Structure 1
Amino acid sequence: MKSAYKVMAYIVAALVIVQSASMVFASAGLGIYIEDGGVLDAAAMESEDLSFTGVAGFIVHGINGMIVIPLLALALLIVSFFARTPGAVRNAAIILGLVVLQVALGLFGHENAYIGLLHGVNALVLFAAALHTGRSAGKAEVTTREDRAPAAV
């Protein structure tokens, strides 16, 4: 379970990278679309015909952020109870809390651009927390293996 816990924490960190990359892909594509004469207004936003290179980035960002990462963070918390790693439950709970905050900031960021700023900052905090969690689980695995190693004669 320690290995699963560690891998899941690293996957959360990797998915935060996917979130960042997909959003930049979408924003860059939208900018190019507008520079090439495309129009973005309320009607275009509501239309299902809006198509430009990078539009998939918005889709990936939404599905990943609203479904995949929250489910993984919840699974990480469940696995943390069986990982028997110091601080596992606390770290997984922090990650889940940051994910819940991230989703809320993402949703409310559509109402206020400054909340969107916090969404970006919290993503960095979540990334760091997930990396820390994966690394601390990795260190616990090494310590456990060393504890089990036979004594040298």
Structure 2
Amino acid sequence: MTKATKLLNALPPPQRGRLMELAREVSFPEDTRIFEAGGRADRFWVIRSGSVSLTQQVTSIQRVTVASLGSGDLLGWSWLFPPYEWDFGAEAFSPVRAYEFEAQPVLRLCEEDPALGLTLMRIVAEILAYRLETTRNKLMEQYAMRRTR
């Protein structure tokens, strides 16, 4: 895999239009915690501008950034899978503008339009596969650096 899929660009125009009817524009100031790991996942975002850090709490006081997301990126996928809780936390690294989608209306739209639902799930799966591969590569780099010390 060479680059991340941009959710809205990957949807065919008619399906993108139907999904965008459910969007609401939101913004987050820099340093805003957008969600915390373990919290209720009932929405997702497509970033329009700015950057978001996905974080993992490793100790009671230490968070590590596991990914950085920017314009066009999908923020949040835990709304798709039980128990519908965030796996990571997310923080606005800079001022962020995004489209916000509530999960339930999107899931209803997917049930009403199975072709849209299948396309959306394939795109999200591709995004997740890309992020898994980049995370694996980062871990392998860190492991290799520690072994050479």
For this structure pair, what is the TM-score category when the shorter chain's length is used for normalisation? 0.3 to 0.5
Comparing both chains, which one has the higher relative contact order based on Cα–Cα distances under 8 Å and sequence gaps of 6 or more? Answer: 1
Provide TM-score, normalisation by structure 1. Answer: 0.35
Structure with more of its chain in helix, by fraction: 1
Q: Which has the larger radius of gyration?
A: 1
